[in-house]
Structure 1
Amino acid sequence: MARTGRPRNFDRDEALGTAMHLFWEHGYEGVSLDQLRQAMGGISSASFYAAFGAKEALYREALSRYLSIHGRVVEALRDTSLSPRARLEQALRRSAVMQTGAAHPAGCMVTLSSTICSTGGTSVRAVTAAERAANRAAIFACVEAGVADGLLRPETDVTGLSTLFEGVLVGLSIQARDGVAADAFGAAITQALKAWDANWAGALER
């Protein structure tokens, strides 16, 4: 007789965590529905749809879980109690630590899991693109605040400097997945911040 119910040990929260790691490691299109079901304890298709609705719905929920846990490393970008430079530095350094952690896949799920998809993955690609756009805007706001607060020279290229920092943030994912050492990231972030310091308004007084 075919099994149609969930296994007795099915734990939806645990299954969601498993799915998050699979999507993070292999990408949205790199994980099949069968792989997801098997990793969740061999649940049936009926049980899968009853619990999560569909693969895309599961991905969106898994991404939301990622953002609420691991994705919080970039929250400093929006912390106005910090100086603009400190916001950038904390977000970059915390992201580097998270992306090279051993307890989960390397890199950033937002950057890696659906950046390139077939036409069938357009909607999930849009979700992660929106998250990256939000971070891009927050980085731009940090640099813009630096100029507005008189910390950076008025002629600072806000777009160029913010694009540099976003490039570092996004690039961490590829390098982390390639196995670049964590200490190298720390040194790279220090070097990137020198671009901020080169535009320091105080240099005008020298």
Structure 2
Amino acid sequence: MPCDSHRSLSSASLYGAFGSKEGRFKQVVDHCRTGPGGAVDVIENTTLSPREAAAGLLHGSIDTQADSSRPTGCLIALSGTMRAPGEERVGVRASVAERRGADRVRIKACVERVLAAGGLDTDADVDGVTTMIHSFLLGLSTQPRDGVPAATLHTAADVPLLNWRRG
């Protein structure tokens, strides 16, 4: 007799509950956004200086990734390194790309705030700075999986913000 913890979901139950495997995947992506991915929300906190918000984004992500009670890695970031094959997976690819795009927009708004506040040189390339912060954030999801200590990541997280003036 199978153990209750090893019950599998029948195809009919899966489709009844989620509409499709893709529907289930999109629900997992939504959970990531409101759960562990919520560390990104600090980037929109206007009670913090833009530099503090960006630092909170990076350091908060490290804390989430280094939390031993959670699996390491980030579905949104790691799925960007793989391409789900076939046209039937377009929705899967689009859902994670949409999330990464939304994060870029939020980060760009923060970079624009720091530029407007005089925290960066007026000739700073907003798209370039945005891409640097976002790329660093996405890369953080792989480092703990490879055994890079959180302390090292916290030190590294301050580097992208070196040219941001405080205030």
Contact 2:120 2:163 in 1 (8 A): no
Post-superposition offset of 1:104? 2.3
Post-superposition offset of 1:48? 2.4
5+ long unaligned stretches in structure 1: 1-6, 10-37
Q: Is 1:83 matched with 2:49?
A: yes
Cα distance between partner residues in 1 of 2:163 and 2:134: 13
Q: Which residue of 2 aligns with 1:181?
A: 149
Q: Counterparts in 2 of 1:86-125, with a 5 A limit? A: 86-113=52-79, 115-116=81-82, 117-119=84-86, 120-125=88-93
5+ long unaligned stretches in structure 2: none
CA radius of gyration, larger in: 1
**Which has the higher relative contact order, 1 or 2, with Cα contacts under 8 A spaced 6 or more apart?**
2
Please tell me the root mean square deviation across aligned C-alpha atoms, in Å.
Answer: 2.2
Q: Which residue of 1 aligns with 2:130?
A: 162
Q: Counterparts in 2 of 1:3-152, with a 5 A limit? A: 41-113=7-79, 115-116=81-82, 117-119=84-86, 120-152=88-120
Question: Structure 1 pair 131/138, CA: closer, same or farther in 2 (3 Å)?
Answer: same
Contact 2:107 2:134 in 1 (8 A): yes
Cα distance between partner residues in 2 of 1:118 and 1:101: 32
More deviation, 177-186/83-92: 177-186
1:136-166 per-residue CA deviation (whole Å, 9 max, x = no partner) reads: 1111111111111223221222222222111
1:78-107 per-residue CA deviation (whole Å, 9 max, x = no partner) reads: 111211111100011101111222222212
Percent identity between the aligned chains? 37
Post-superposition offset of 1:114? 5.3
Q: Which residue of 1 aligns with 2:160?
A: 192
* TM-score, length of structure 2 as denominator length: 0.86
